[in-house]
Amino acid sequence: MPMLLLSPTPAHPTWSCSPSSFVLSTFPGSSSVVINTMYIPPQANMDTALCELHEALTQFQAQHRDAALIVVGDFNSANLKSAMPNLYQHVTFPTRGNRTLDHCYTPYKDSYKALAHPPFGKSDHAAIFLLPKYKQRVKREAPVQREVARWTDQSVAALQDGLDDADWDMFCRSTDDVSEFTEAVVGFIGKLVDDTIPRTSIKTFPNQKLWVDRTIREALNSRTAAYNAGIISGNMDEYKSAAYGARRAVREAKRRYGKKLETQFQQSGSRSLWQGLRTITDYRSPPSGLMSADESLANDYILRGCI
């Protein structure tokens, strides 16, 4: 079975051979994926082969706990699910004649959809194409278009001038009620903000990171423009400089966002603390639905309390 692994470090194959089974385990140096290619001969003792395979896979899982495990190969009549119930078989169609000899096991249920393709060369086994069932969040949810205020230095200065020129004594003379005074002042400030601070429309994608801001988008656009210009001119020096600038912009944005979260934790207010925790854990409050209550139930409750 051909195998292709893309990794910054070379792959390290490990063999395990016996009369009952042959195991070839390949994993990159980063130990992110462990692929085990199996072959169990038809005349082999299936119980012995499954025991040997269970021992080998358990050893690999113990050595690489964070790695993704994939077990593929020709199992003939053996069923790895009986020896390792935590693995799931993704091939559900016949791969040779009317029998399913080739299996693919992973620890993730419903992670792949197997499709039958024509055999390679003179092989009498069908080729298996695995499609991930997982659909990215950016494809499951549509981007959200919303308006945000642009708090530039010029707009903040204009807002400050408007607040300085306001006749605040007018609100004090207009009413003696604290609630009416608060409502009038808050409404005036809100109207002043709407008239002074410009607003712009932005598009937010479902998979967008919270630390992505305007500087990163500008750096990425500059990198793309430099790459297109370099392809035409043949000089990629400007592209290399723009690529370095994009990486630097990402580091700076992450640093600023980290400082923002640290500030929320360092503040004494519990509201800022909970905001920081919700941001880190990506917590979303469940929508609360209003219940249609019967008025007679409230009346009965009040009457019972009065008796």
Condensed to tens digits (0 to 9), the pLDDT of residues 141-187 reads: 888 888 888 888 898 999 899 888 888 888 888 888 888 888 888 99
Strand partners, 23: 16, 38
Number of Cβ atoms within 10 Å of the Cβ of 146: 9
* Residue 40 near residue 51, CB atoms below 8 Å: no
Query: Which sequence spans correspond to the domains of the chain?
Result: 11-134, 138-205, 209-281
pLDDT band, residue 281 (cuts 50/70/90):
low
For residue 274, what are the CA distances in angstroms to 209, 254, 265, 301? 20, 20, 9, 36
Determine the straight-line distance between the first and last CA of the chain, rounded to whole angstroms.
Answer: 82
Distances (CA, A) of 121 to 2, 3, 124, 126: 13, 16, 9, 11
pLDDT digits (tens, 9 = 90+) for 218-239: 999 999 999 999 989 988 899 9
Q: Provide the pLDDT for residue 2.
A: 35
Pick the residue with more confidence: 193 or 176? 193
Confidence tier at 88 by pLDDT (50, 70, 90): very high
Fold (topology level) of 11-134: Deoxyribonuclease I; Chain A (3.60.10)
Confidence (pTM)? 0.46
124-133, 197-206, 289-298, range with the lowest pLDDT: 289-298
